[in-house]
Amino acid sequence: MPIPQIDLLAVFLAALSGFVLGGIWYGPLFGKAWMTANGFTMEDLQKDFNGPKTYGLSFLFGLIAAYTFAMFLGTDIGFTTGALYGFTAGLCWIGTSFATSYQFERRSNMLLMINAGYHTVQFTIIGAILGAMN
């Protein structure tokens, strides 16, 4: 089975959207709740923080996720279908995977909602961008 043609600009923009969303999601929207749910203080987060490594790897992971999701989606979708598939992947694959792990790790439901919510919105946007630029 041949690999579908991947629009690299769409992949880049999709990855960038997840990166920007993360800054908003874990910043002004849910940053304080996320820190509380993890038991972090601002001092904890700043201690030994390597910004270029953390942000660089996060963006690289976003590129990998967007590229492989583009391969999964293929070329016969549009904006709406891409967004729907992204929402489904975020909620049903990533969210439920987190939920399973969090049960065994005894992490809070609040942290689950924040993290799974981010990935649900992230993949909805990724799917929408990939579909729209298809």
Q: Is residue 64, in this structure, part of any structural domain at all? A: yes
Q: Which two tokens stand for residue 48?
A: 């030994």
Q: Which two tokens stand for residue 90?
A: 């975020």
pLDDT at res. 5: 87
Q: Which two tokens stand for residue 54?
A: 């953390």
Q: Is residue 1, in this structure, part of any structural domain at all? A: no
Q: How buried is residue 130: exposed, middle or buried, by Cβ count under 10 Å (0-12/13-18/19+)? A: buried
Domain around 59: 8-40+49-132
pLDDT band at 134 (very low <50, low <70, confident <90, very high): confident
pLDDT tens digit sequence for 14-51: 999 999 999 999 999 999 999 999 999 999 999 999 99
pLDDT at res. 2: 66
Contact 90, 119 (CB under 8 A): yes
pLDDT at 1 over 60: no
Beta strands in 1-134 (DSSP E): none
pLDDT band at 63 (very low <50, low <70, confident <90, very high): very high
Number of domains in the chain: 1
Residue 71: CB atoms within 10 A of its CB come to 12
Backbone angles phi, psi at 116, to 5 degrees: -65, -35
Instruction: Tell me which residue of 84, 95, 93, 92 sits closest to 117, measured CA to CA.
Output: 95
Q: What is the mean pLDDT of the chain?
A: 96
Q: pTM for this structure?
A: 0.93
Q: Is residue 3, in this structure, part of any structural domain at all? A: no
pLDDT at res. 25: 98
